[in-house]
Structure 1
């Protein structure tokens, strides 16, 4: 890695390497063959549970186990929701539909509030966020949490949404 990178840029490169490497396998699979994995997950409750648990394991702010970040009830509720609604294939469809997008993405001029959670994957630097959202009305950094902030840190997320959108009140 070049020595000219700032610590923020170095963190972003390392996070993106994880996202496109070790942690990106399921994204690639769903982006290229969503029906294949969807049919397999719809056929096996154990397979569906393992698939979702692995996402919680690898993308939450935990100390080695998904249960460090999420309650067993939340984990089982989520797995059950996917299983009973048979939504494994349809939930992965967004990866296929957006397979040609890059991190460069479109520039957004609408008012945007962003909160970054420290263990989110991918975690992009503030400079990238500011470059993409020219009307950034709030930027927050949570103390803890990962990719599943709604389950991991619901109070922090609600507080950040309220803070971020408060400036839009007339």
Structure 2
């Protein structure tokens, strides 16, 4: 058995990798929690880019995370009362974190975005979905070091985008490192074919252990 995840799915998959339940042979991540505990004073250009993308993720793009991490019910109730508000709330994430040319529609179809928005609206889950940010408000991008086989795919417009050296330091048994040609933070929605191919390539070596 193997597990795969991106975004919050990567949080769950990383936790599984740390616990190593019986039968779990390895994992694939398209979001990596591999930020070092301490950042050196003198950064290389690649290190500076990684730090800048994390600052963007927690800064300008992190307003919704901060709001949900401190007042989840306040924003949740407001969103549950307005379909337009709920739509804009989700759309902004697609616009700011996908591989696009200024509009979310460059990366995702309108139907795909409306499907995602509808899941929140018709299930009235704006408030309940916000609580995960409150419950994990002390979390960081510095995840646990893993020793089981880990396959990784980095998408070029992901935010934050971490260095390969940091990933290698965090995942001691890195069996695959792939760099996709296109795609952003929501890889499974943006580039499903690329992601599926990467999962297959990344975890192929584990088949011999079944």
Deviation string for 1:3-43 (max 9, x for gaps)? 94222202101101101110111111111221211111111
CA RMSD of aligned residues (A): 1.5
Aligned to 1:142: 180
**C-alpha distance in structure 2 between counterparts of 1:129 and 1:151, whole Å:** 23
Matched, 1:117 2:155: yes
Map 1:14-163; keep pairs closer than 5 Å: 14-163=52-201
TM-score (norm 1): 0.93
Size of the aligned set, in residue pairs, is 169
How far apart, in 2, do the equivalents of 1:94 and 1:110 lie? 26
State the 4+ residue runs in structure 1 displaced beyond 4 angstroms. Answer: none
Q: TM-score of the superposition, structure 2-length normalised? A: 0.76
Which sections of structure 1, spanning at least 5 residues, go unmatched?
A: none
5+ long unaligned stretches in structure 2? 1-39
